[in-house]
């Protein structure tokens, strides 16, 4: 079976030196596409599945990514395929430029909730559709109806191996100083990720924590170049426009209480593991699968976030640190700062356990992809088809009627 998978950011081909490597500093869409290709190829060899997986990107500088072939878009569109898996920017180009792909089955791997544009393209071109998050699936169900739901591959052990050189390390170390709080933020510095909302509230956070004698420090990991957007601001690793939106709220705090580290490879874990707590996307806009939250949790770092969009998939297990929006960040940090050591350790244990729960699904996820590739009669997701629900309701009704009938007959015996 000839399978073609798109890599949105070709720089990952040069950035990864091991097929067991953590995200080297690219967008989650590109990294999970690469990971899926690697894992599917492994599974194909072990189980004799005869999957011939090829990666394609716009202008690759190499023709190999570990043991996988890499070809250009131009070459990919000339060949015949049985399955093509598409993500990101190329989908709209294929649609608007009316590019013909020689393939029996084409799948759109969506990375956004309420993905209106992609669902419209899928319906118009009769492509199959895949969501990665539970909340995202429900959001996209309202637009396209029943479709595939397969979570992103996530491995907590790889992250701990990179951070501590110990894949099972549970970090129960609490902060050294009661008058200092190290807060982490990791994400692309683009509007949808919500860092500007944190920046708007930073002065309120400073004031509230200083009132109880705590000096906060915010470590910001990430930049606009995570998704290959240009950096144009002098002091913030973001576009000039977005930087100017952030800057007025924090101009006096840069390199004093807020430190920008830019987009990092695995070295980001050396900063992350020193944080006491993290904040992630206060409104959850655009989130499909909560990989960034899970990275923090893999390191036993508690996370403050919302119950919206993809964030809800993980924060439902972490309700004590959930917020409605950015208005509640300051009070939540204040509450966290007043916890005793035992309570903080319990939050760290909870974070560690949540990350392991999501990580434990990897084998299931690989087999869901295999099942999706080898059959197309049934969507791959955990939600029952209406026909099965209808039959179950009818059977329940029959049992109820039968029970009542027996009771009625027994009266006359």
CA distances from residue 125 to 95, 105, 116, 314, 364 in whole angstroms, order as listed: 8, 11, 14, 33, 29
**First-last CA distance in the chain:** 67
Which pLDDT band holds residue 157 (cuts at 50, 70, 90)? very high
In what helix (H) or strand (E) does residue 361 lie, and over which residues does it extend?
none
Strands 258-262 and 215-221: parallel
How many CB atoms lie under 10 A from the CB of residue 258?
23
- Residue 37 pLDDT greater than 80, yes or no: yes
Tell the residue number behind the tokens 């396209």, with chain if given: 144
Strands 52-57 and 2-6: parallel
Q: What's the rounded Cα separation, in Å, for the pair 340 and 175?
A: 11
User: Which pLDDT value is given to residue 363?
Assistant: 95
User: Which pLDDT value is given to residue 176?
Assistant: 64
Which pLDDT band holds residue 174 (cuts at 50, 70, 90)? confident
- Residue 384 pLDDT greater than 70, yes or no: no
Average pLDDT over residues 371-399: 83
- Residue 59 pLDDT greater than 70, yes or no: yes
User: Which pLDDT value is given to residue 26?
Assistant: 94
Q: What's the rounded Cα separation, in Å, for the pair 23 and 27?
A: 8
- Residue 246 pLDDT greater than 90, yes or no: yes
Q: What's the rounded Cα separation, in Å, for the pair 56 and 48?
A: 23
Which pLDDT band holds residue 391 (cuts at 50, 70, 90)? confident
Beta-bridge partners for 72: 57
Percent of the chain at pLDDT > 70 equals 99
> In terms of residues, how long is the chain?
413
- Residue 177 pLDDT greater than 80, yes or no: no
Q: What's the rounded Cα separation, in Å, for the pair 375 and 126?
A: 16
Pick the closest to residue 258 from 305, 176, 201 (CA basis): 201
CA distances from residue 392 to 378, 379, 380 in whole angstroms, order as listed: 18, 19, 20
In Å, how far from its chain's centre is CA 178?
33
Same fold, 2-149 and 164-359: yes
194-236: per-residue pLDDT in tens? 999 999 999 999 999 999 999 999 999 999 888 767 788 999 9
Work out the angle at residue 300's Cα, subtended by the Cα atoms of residues 295 and 304, and round it to the nearest 5 degrees: 70
Q: What residue spans define the domains of the chain?
A: 2-149, 164-359, 385-413
CATH of region 164-359, choose from 1.10.600.10, 3.40.309.10, 3.10.20.30, 3.40.50.2000: 3.40.50.2000
83-105: per-residue pLDDT in tens? 999 998 899 999 999 999 999 89
Pick the closest to residue 139 from 166, 161, 111, 164 (CA basis): 111
How many CB atoms lie under 10 A from the CB of residue 240?
14
Residue environment code for 318-330, b if the CB has 16+ CB neighbours within 10 A, otherwise e:
beebbbeebebbb
Q: For all residues of the chain together, what is the average pLDDT? A: 94
Sign of CA dihedral 408, 410, 411, 413: positive
Beta-bridge partners for 71: 56
- Residue 3 pLDDT greater than 90, yes or no: yes
Token pair, residue 102, equals: 């020689």
User: Which pLDDT value is given to residue 156?
Assistant: 97
110-131: per-residue pLDDT in tens? 999 999 999 999 999 999 999 9
CATH number of 2-149: 3.40.50
339-357: per-residue pLDDT in tens? 999 999 999 999 999 999 9
How many CB atoms lie under 10 A from the CB of residue 301?
24
How many CB atoms lie under 10 A from the CB of residue 157?
17
Q: What's the rounded Cα separation, in Å, for the pair 9 and 90?
A: 11
- Residue 153 pLDDT greater than 90, yes or no: yes
Beta-bridge partners for 85: 5, 107
């Amino acid at each position: 079976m000839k399978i073609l998978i798109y890599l949105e950011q070709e720089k990952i081909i040069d950035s990864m030196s091991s097929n067991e490597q953590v995200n080297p500093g690219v967008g989650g869409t590109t990294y999970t596409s690469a990971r899926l290709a690697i894992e599917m190829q492994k599974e194909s060899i072990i189980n004799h599945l005869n999957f011939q997986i090829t990666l394609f990107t716009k202008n690759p500088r190499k023709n190999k990514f570990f043991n996988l072939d890499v070809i250009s878009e131009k070459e990919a569109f000339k060949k015949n395929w049985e399955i093509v898996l598409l993500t990101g920017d190329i989908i709209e180009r294929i649609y608007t430029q009316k590019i013909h792909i020689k393939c029996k089955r084409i799948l759109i791997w969506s990375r956004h909730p309420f993905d209106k544009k992609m669902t419209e393209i899928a319906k118009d071109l009769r492509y199959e559709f895949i969501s990665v998050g539970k909340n995202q699936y429900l959001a996209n169900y309202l637009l396209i109806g029943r479709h595939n739901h397969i979570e992103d591959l996530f491995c907590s052990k790889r992250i701990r191996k990179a951070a501590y050189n110990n894949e099972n390390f549970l970090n129960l170390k609490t902060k050294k100083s009661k008058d200092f709080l190290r807060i982490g933020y990791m994400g692309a510095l683009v509007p949808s990720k919500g860092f500007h909302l944190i920046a708007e509230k930073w002065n309120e956070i400073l004031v509230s924590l200083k009132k109880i004698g705590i000096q906060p420090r915010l470590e910001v990991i990430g930049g606009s170049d995570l998704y290959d957007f240009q950096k144009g601001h002098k002091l913030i690793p973001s576009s000039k426009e977005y930087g100017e939106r952030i800057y007025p709220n924090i101009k006096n705090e840069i390199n004093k209480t807020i430190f920008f580290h830019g987009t990092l490879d695995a070295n980001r874990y050396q900063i992350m593991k020193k944080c006491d707590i993290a904040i992630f996307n206060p409104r959850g806009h655009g989130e499909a699968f909560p990989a960034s939250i899970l990275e923090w949790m893999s390191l036993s770092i508690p996370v403050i976030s919302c119950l919206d969009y993809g964030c809800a998939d993980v924060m439902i297990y972490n309700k004590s640190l959930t917020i409605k929006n950015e208005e509640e960040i300051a009070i939540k940090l204040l509450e966290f700062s007043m916890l005793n050591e035992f309570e903080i350790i319990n939050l760290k244990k909870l974070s560690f356990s949540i990350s392991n729960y999501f990580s434990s699904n990897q084998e299931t996820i690989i087999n869901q992809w295999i099942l999706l590739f080898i059959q197309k009669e049934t969507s791959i997701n955990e939600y029952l088809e209406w026909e099965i629900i209808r039959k179950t309701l009818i059977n329940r009704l029959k049992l109820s009627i039968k029970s009542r009938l027996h009771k009625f007959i027994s009266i006359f015996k």
